[in-house]
Amino acid sequence: MKLIDKITISILAGLFAVVTLCNILQPNRPTESALEQRTLAKIPAFSLSALADGSYFSGWSAFFSDTFLGRDTLVDLSKEIDTLMGIPYDMGGEENFVLIQTGSQNQNEPDAADEELLADAFAELNRTEETEPAETMPAETEPAESEPVETDPPETEPVETKPAETKPAETKPAETEPRETEPVQTILSLTLSREKLRLTVGSGSVVYASAETSDGKGASVSWSISDKKIASIAKNPGGGIDVKGLAEGECILTCRAGNQIKAECKVIVSSVTSVNQSTDNATADFITGGMFIYGEGAYTQAYYAESSAKYFAQTAAYYQSLFGKDVQVSVVMAPVSSMVIDNPSVTAKIADQGVIQDKVEALMDDSVNFVDVYTEMFAHRDEYLYFRSDHHWTQLGAYYAYRAFAQSRGFTPTEKGDLNYSVVNETYHGSLYNMTKDIRIRSFVDTIEAWMPKKSLTMTVTNMYGNTFTYSSCLAPADKSYTAFITGDHPYIVINVPENPQDKNILVLKDSFGNAFVPYLCEHYGNIIVVDVRYTDMNIYEHLKDYGLTDIVFVNNVQAALSTTWSKMYLKAVGVE
């Protein structure tokens, strides 16, 4: 054997040995593939039966294959090479479209155990409603040990309606007979609209007082908070008092009517630090089946499974029953981008999302507000509703969904011209290239436009690591991607709009389609709470049942809405698992 051959073999053997050793000894082996959005194979459990049938050794093979050093990079490269090999394709897109297979379409339909679990949850909820005693006002308690801090003395806060100030009876000089004085008003009882108020840092709510008086007239009251570092208070123009969470902790809100009587509300302010980063499909907005290239863009299509749609409808109905009649649950099911295509040769091969919406709406409980998003968006399908290189809608697409939602709730939608318009990025390359590694998608360029509220606001973001950040806008223009909207996906976000009614509060449960939708809610709600159940294991009901929600809205694209995976995450978020 020649010397050069020996050297070559030695080098290759050495490299092979080093790679093998590194793969065996590598620390922090990956457990999830972000690229393929799946859990990687684990070390197989030893058993004689597994040894006999060969599955034990095949399990080891799968484990080493899945956790090979640089595996995702190699898979990326393989996909790019595949797309470079040449697929017949007409960029004009007049007749045909090219499917991009990115994984099997798995709606993860509910099984009998899932349906039984939800049925049991409904039954338990009904039993609780039948046996739960009516709430009564607690006996008066002493204020917290720390001295209450008076706000804006000596001005006082009116109860419900602005009372007429009572003036002391005028008397004549001593030498004359005094006039008859009016009877002194006595406060018989003083009650607050809330005994307990749960807030998160940055959120706010409103507490009202009502009084029974001896003369049947209104009474003047004053408010104080026991710890100004935990919560602040301010007069609400409509009566009552605005309370805003500042820091984690507990304090007492006290309402007094002179020195006669008082009533208290316990204020609990918490931060969201409990997150779960190991949730299956944590990075997936929907379960991809077949995307396709048509003309100068890449598109996603929708799929329908009745059992999954029914499970989603039951999930929304459960939220409505759980939170009660004072909270309106709404569903905003966003179409995906294939809805804008009107070429019959293409539409004949994909699902009609208008039909899908009608089927889902028919399954919804009458108590749930199912928003007709499709009709509003379809009327504007010639506009720039979806990115060409990204699976999300543009904020223009989200605007028409907002219009449909606002009208369904009796609001007058704000016109685009009355919002702050800006261009975030004129050369945006979106998510679909990274999802598919199809080289053709690199040529598709998008523009990110934004329409933001003109009202002043505070947005408090809790990220996946429990860190909290505060912004004065719903837009992060320095981020040139879709994550510019509400700074992307996070476990918990709360937006406070001081000039809106502080007792009008909405909870948004969403995938990333909700990010572009949320800013429009600042036109109507005092507090907008945004929860992404993929990134938090908080119990939403326990956290917000005492908050004073008026609305809950699910904002999901049609694929996520009709994936049982999402419905199960929503149920888990209120303790059904």
Phi-psi region of 360 (alpha: psi -120 to 50; beta: other; left: phi over 0): alpha
pLDDT at residue 151 greater than cutoff 60:
no
Report the amino acid identity of residue 220: S
Taking CA atoms, 298 is separated from 99, 203, 449, in Å, by 9, 39, 19
Over 70: is that where the pLDDT of 439 sits?
yes
- Please report, as a single letter, which amino acid is at residue 365: D
CB of 475 within 8 A of CB of 519?
yes
Predicted local distance difference test score (pLDDT) of residue 270? 83
Q: Could you tell me if 204 and 236 are in contact, meaning their C-beta atoms sit under 8 angstroms apart?
A: no
What DSSP assignment string belongs to 545-562? TTT---EEEEEEEHHHHT
Residues comprising the chain, all counted = 577
Torsion from C-alpha of 356, 362, 368, 369, nearest 10 degrees = 60
pLDDT of residue 143: 36
Q: Is the peptide bond before 154 cis (omega within 30 degrees of 0)?
A: yes
* Contact partners, residue 306, CB within 8 Å, separation at least 6: 359, 363
How many Cα neighbours within 13 Å face the side chain of 128? 10
Give the whole-number percent of the chain exceeding pLDDT 70: 76
Which amino acid would we find at residue 256? R
Which segment of 329-333, 387-391, 462-466, 526-530 scores lowest on mean pLDDT?
A: 462-466
**pLDDT for position 84:** 45
Q: Given pLDDT bands bounded at 50, 70 and 90, which one contains residue 211?
A: confident
pLDDT winner (highest mean) among 90-104, 147-161, 304-318, 422-436: 304-318
106-115, 307-316, 348-357, 395-404: the lowest-pLDDT one: 106-115
Q: pLDDT, tens digit, for every residue of 494-515?
A: 999 999 999 999 999 999 999 9
Residue 384, pLDDT > 80, answer: yes
* Band of pLDDT at residue 83, cut at 50, 70 and 90: very low
Comparing C-alpha atoms, which of 497, 490, 496 is closest to residue 512? 490
pLDDT value for 35: 46
SS3 531: strand
Q: Label the pairing between strands 241-245 and 209-213.
A: unpaired
DSSP string, 440-499: GGGG--EEEEEEE-SS--EEEEE-TTS-EEEESSSB-TTS-SGGGBTTS--SEEEEE-TT
Of the candidates 250, 270, 117, the residue with the CA atom closest to the CA atom of residue 201: 270
pLDDT for the residue numbered 451: 98
Average pLDDT of the segment spanning 239-252 = 90
Q: How far apart are CA 519 and CA 316, in angstroms?
A: 23
**So what's the pLDDT on residue 130?**
60
How far is it, in rounded angstroms, from Cα 441 to Cα 44? 39
Residue 173 to residue 68: CA distance in whole angstroms:
101
pLDDT at 121 > cutoff 80: yes
Q: How many CB atoms lie within 10 A of CB 372?
A: 17
Q: What is the Cα Rg of the chain in Å?
A: 30
DSSP state string for 15-67: HHHHHHHHHHH-SS---EETTTTEEPP-PPPP-HHHHHHTHHHHHHHHHHHHT
* Interval 427-433 mean pLDDT: 90
Beta-carbon-side half-sphere exposure of residue 182 (alpha carbons within 13 Å) = 10
Specify the higher pLDDT residue, 91 or 350: 350
Q: How far is CA 156 from CA 79, 108, 224, 252, 397, in A?
A: 69, 58, 11, 18, 47
Record the pTM: 0.73
Give the chain's largest Cα–Cα span.
Answer: 137
Enumerate residues 6+ apart whose C-beta is below 8 A from 474: 452, 453, 457, 459, 485, 486, 495, 518, 519, 522
Q: What pLDDT, on a 0 to 100 scale, did the predictor assign at position 568?
A: 94
